[in-house]
Amino acid sequence: MRLAFLASHGGSAARALVEAIRAGELKAEAVALASNNSKSPALAWAREAGLRAAHLSSAKYPDAGELDRAIRDFLVGSGADTLILSGYMKELGPQTLAAFEGRILNIHPSLLPRHGGRGMYGDRVHESVLASGDTESGATVHLVTAGIDEGPALEQVRVPVLPGDTLATLKARVQAEEGALMLRAVKGFLDRS
């Protein structure tokens, strides 16, 4: 399995997978990372880690079709066969979806299908969980399809919502589980592929 990543900020799932590869825990190769954010820590990390790295955003490609093609060409050109979304805050275009159909994994910070869909990302998800009164949250790794957060779930981890939880405390507890969750999901996906 040759992994490429899309990340908007820190890219914690990408980092966890690359660490697992280097530790011999995951039989895969990490080949590339692209970010829509030129200042993302993930992009700087990818360059330092020796991955092929690129900033691909609407600032460089104002036409959505051109941006989609640039992302697809970069990922395919890297030799990747599987795409991991690691906190990527943009919707994938049809060309990228088609190039990696059935081989795109995303991590979402809730127990999908709850608190998923258009506009539900980052802190908004944790705020929604807290506002709903749910007694548990967690994270879900799912296959990406054309519908936002609608692809089948591969793995989930549950995290309790504690009395007095704030956005910061719930977010920290969920994020602490995401690296191990993504590793389990990718290993399971590799075993089934």
What confidence score (pLDDT) does residue 16 get? 93
Cross-strand bridge partners of residue 136:
160
- Among residues 9, 55, 108, 126, which one is catalytic? 108
142 is catalytic: no
pTM (2 d.p.): 0.94
Domain with CATH 3.40.50.170 in the chain: 1-101, 109-193
Task: Kindly report the number of other CB atoms within 10 A of residue 79's CB atom.
Answer: 12
For 86-113, the pLDDT digits (tens) are: 989 899 999 999 999 999 999 999 999 9
Q: What is the mean pLDDT of the chain?
A: 96
Q: Which are the contacts of 187, defined by CB distance < 8 A and separation ≥ 6?
A: 26
Quote the CA–CA distance of 83 and 85 in Å, as a whole number: 7
> Which positions make up the binding site for (6R)-10-formyltetrahydrofolate?
106
Q: How confident is the model at residue 83 (pLDDT cuts 50, 70, 90)?
A: very high
- Residue range 1-101 forms a domain whose CATH class is alpha beta
Residue partners of 36: CB distance under 8 A and separation at least 6:
6, 8, 55, 56, 57, 58, 88, 89, 90
Amino acid letter, residue 137:
S
Q: d(Cα 137, Cα 32) in Å, to the nearest integer?
A: 31
CATH superfamily of 109-193: Formyl transferase, N-terminal domain (3.40.50.170)
